[in-house]
Each structure stands twice: as C-alpha cells, then as structure tokens.
Structure 1
Amino acid sequence: MSGMLELLLQHKIVAILRGIEDHHADDTAQALIDGGIHMMEITMNTEGAAVMIERWRTKFDGKAAVGAGTVTDVVLAEQAVAAGAQFLISPNLDEEVIAYGRERGLSVWPGVMTPTEIVKAWKAGADAVKIFPMGTLGVGYLQEIRGPLNDIPMMATGGVDLHNIADYFKAGANAVGMGGKLVNLEWVREGKFDQVTERARQFTDAVKDL
C-alpha cells in the first residue's frame, strides 16, 4: 500500500482548497493542521496553485501531506508534480494521469461515478477512487455500489457535513473530500482562523469516533 493511501485511510479527510488567495493560504493551512487535518489539496484551477503547493511542501513538511486537486489532464499533472504534489486528485477519469502518477510513485485518485468507471480506474492503477459528485448521488448510491465493489478504497466527495459525515462512512466511504463545508473562505478572508481550526477539529473528532 502506498504511503499516501495509508495516510488517507488513517486520517479519512482531505481538505480541498479551491480559490484560496495566496496571501491567506499559509495561515489557512496552519489553521487546518491545528484542527487535526493531515491531508490538503490545492486545486489546480486556483490561481497560483503550483506556487502554493511548492511552498507548503517545505513549510508544512512532516505536518501534512500536500496534493493537487482538479488535475484533469497530464499537462496539469506535470505542473503539480513539478511543484512537489504528493498525490493527485481529479474530478474525472483520465488514464494518462494515472499512468503518469504511477510512473513517479504517486497516488492518483480519479473522480468516478459509475461502476464501470470505478473498475476502469482501478484496473488502470488508481489505488483509490473519488466518488463524485456525492452531494447529488447521495449515500444510498454509495451503499449500493459498495456491495459488488467492496475491495476498492473510495473517497466520497461532495455533500459531507457534520450532521451526515457518519452516514458516509456507514455507507462504505473510506475517506471524504471536503471543500467549503470545512474551509470557509469567508472566515479566511475575515481572518477568523480560530474558527477554521474549530471547524476542522469538529470534523476530525467526528471521524475519530467511527
């Protein structure tokens, strides 16, 4: 099992930072780490994503794993890897991205929805898949596909909140990806980093009890 997959299964939450401004980024990451978050992804459609990834790799070394999100093709995968991303996450299944990551010993967790896509991603070498968009599909969907596909690690992304996070894991999620419900960018812009930490702590405590 890869080191990143091990971390994912152990800590169960990936914080998704999309649209974060560079001057708030470091304080936000620190606030999340203080709240118990150990895995963070900066989406590649965030301005200056590669620069932030590179900086975080040094700044938060040993505190949190830093990956790239929204890696929709190999060009973005190359940029992310050059910046030092430790794992790659996509909203889509691109087998070239999986191959690119694997050649470099990196975990790639592609976005998939149907059973066909899930198995295809697994066969292409993804060591986990991201079931997306979970907010629309709902936990019932996850539970249903879990029956026949019980050996593939699944991260559920979309729709996770404090009141339903336990349901995601009961339905068969091994981990969850969380954006705005975890990282409130309005709090970030207002400098309320203690609230960011507190929210992170609520989620990390919730998964500890599972």
Structure 2
Amino acid sequence: MDLLQVIENNKIVAIFRGVSGEGADRGAEALIRGGIKVLEVTMNTEGAMTSLANWRKKYEGEAFLGAGTVLDLEMAKEAVASGAQFLISPNLDEDVVRYGIEQGVDVFPGVMTPTEIVRAWKAGARAVKLFPMATLGIQYLKDIRAPLDRIPMIVTGGVNLANIADFVKAGVAGVGLGSNLVDKKLVSEGKFDELEANARKYVDAVAAAMR
C-alpha cells in the first residue's frame, strides 16, 4: 500500500527522538503491536541509522520506517542508504525533496507559512509537515487549510490523547507523535506492555474520530 494512503488511513507517525539501541528496537515492536503503522527515528538520535536498519530487517511489511530531522541532502543520502522509506524534515530543502523523488522515497518537508507550503508542493512533496503545531495551534491549522486544503498536512508538536481527535476532525493527513507516544520513561524502565497499551489508546482515539 502507498505510504501517504497508510498515513491518511491511520493518521499516526511515531517519532523516536533520543531513544536508541535495544530501547528503540523493543519500543518499535511494542508500538507496531499496538497498531502503529508508520515510525520514524530522528537523525539527531544516537545510533539512528543502526536503529533504522534493524527496523527494516525486523518489521519489513509490517510498518513504514523512515528518518526524521533530515536537514539537508547529505543527511537524506545517509538515511536512504540505511533503508529509510521516507524522510521528514523540520525545514524545507528543495534539494532533499528532489532527491527523494529521484530515489522513490517520499519527503515531507517542514513548513509554516502558506508560501512555504506551496513551495514544497510545487517542488514535488506529496504532503508537508506543519510545524511547530504546539506554538501555531489548531486554529492556525484550520485557517491555513481553508485555502490550501488540497495539500495534505501532517502536524507535529502539541498533539496528545486529549486533542488528537480535534486534529483528525480538522482534516489533517496525519499527526507526528513524539514523547507522548514514544515515552522515554516507559522505555528506560522496560515497560513495553504499557507502551503498547498507550499506542492502542491513540489508535482507538483516531478510529473514533474518523467514524
């Protein structure tokens, strides 16, 4: 199935930032058991590319696995070489978007303004990452989607179990979830059953909002 279609159907992109080694491997397993279909590990996480390569070996076909915080072309090449199936950035670098197209890898660049959103779209991005959502707020999302509703938007920052339904109903293509989903404390304490249960709560909340 197409990555963007999977995101639009399931909404959640799990973000592993500062979680590495066995914690990243077991955490990914727990989230996938909990129903998460798309996982990214950020490039500024220690051992990120090792985690990504391990995920591809273990969970190929069970989830889409990619790299986040891809700031430039050099990082993009490193991530793709390690098996990234998609690239997500906090910024818009059109060279990265073009490279993704060449490699057959989706790139979701970080944008904030209408001009950036349209530039990313024209560069070939099939969706954009609207960031930082915690600062911008859901009203900004609604306002910006009014004229730009044809461009799929993945929001990151400020989304939690209490408000995820509001974002889904506001028409997002997806939501990036970091520490609220990939809880470092649960990982460090080895509470992977709780991590899985928390993932199920988010999956259920999305399903309820989409009914």
Q: Is 1:94 aligned with 2:82?
A: no
Which contiguous aligned blocks of 4+ residues in structure 1 show a shift greater than 2 angstroms?
none
Deviation at 1:171, TM superposition (A): 2.1
Whether the 8 Å CA contact 1:73–1:94 is kept in 2: the answer is yes
Specify the code of the residue in structure 2 equivalent to 1:27. R
For residues 10 and 167 of structure 1, the distance between their equivalents in structure 2, rounded to whole angstroms, comes to 16
For residues 74 and 20 of structure 2, the distance between their equivalents in structure 1, rounded to whole angstroms, comes to 23
SS of residue matched to 2:31: helix
Q: Is 1:15 aligned with 2:11?
A: no
Deviation at 1:23, TM superposition (A): 2.1
The alignment of Structure 1 onto Structure 2 pairs a total of residues equal to 209
State the TM-score, normalized to the length of structure 1.
0.97
Whether the 8 Å CA contact 1:154–1:173 is kept in 2: the answer is yes
Matches within 5 A, 1:32-47: 32-47=31-46
Aligned-CA RMSD value: 0.9
State the match for 2:81 in structure 1.
82
State the match for 1:196 in structure 2.
195
Deviation at 1:47, TM superposition (A): 0.8
For residues 116 and 196 of structure 1, the distance between their equivalents in structure 2, rounded to whole angstroms, comes to 38
* Runs of 5+ unmatched residues, structure 1: none
Matches within 5 A, 1:1-210: 3-209=2-208, 210=210
Deviation at 1:11, TM superposition (A): 1.4
Give % identity.
57
SS of residue matched to 1:97: helix
Specify the code of the residue in structure 2 equivalent to 1:52. S
State the TM-score, normalized to the length of structure 2.
0.97
Q: Deviations over 1:77-113 (max 9, x none)?
A: 0000000100000000000000000001111000100
Whether the 8 Å CA contact 2:20–2:51 is kept in 1: the answer is no
- Segment of structure 1 superposing worse, 66-75 or 163-172: 163-172
For residues 172 and 6 of structure 1, the distance between their equivalents in structure 2, rounded to whole angstroms, comes to 14
Whether the 8 Å CA contact 1:140–1:171 is kept in 2: the answer is no
For residues 148 and 173 of structure 1, the distance between their equivalents in structure 2, rounded to whole angstroms, comes to 14
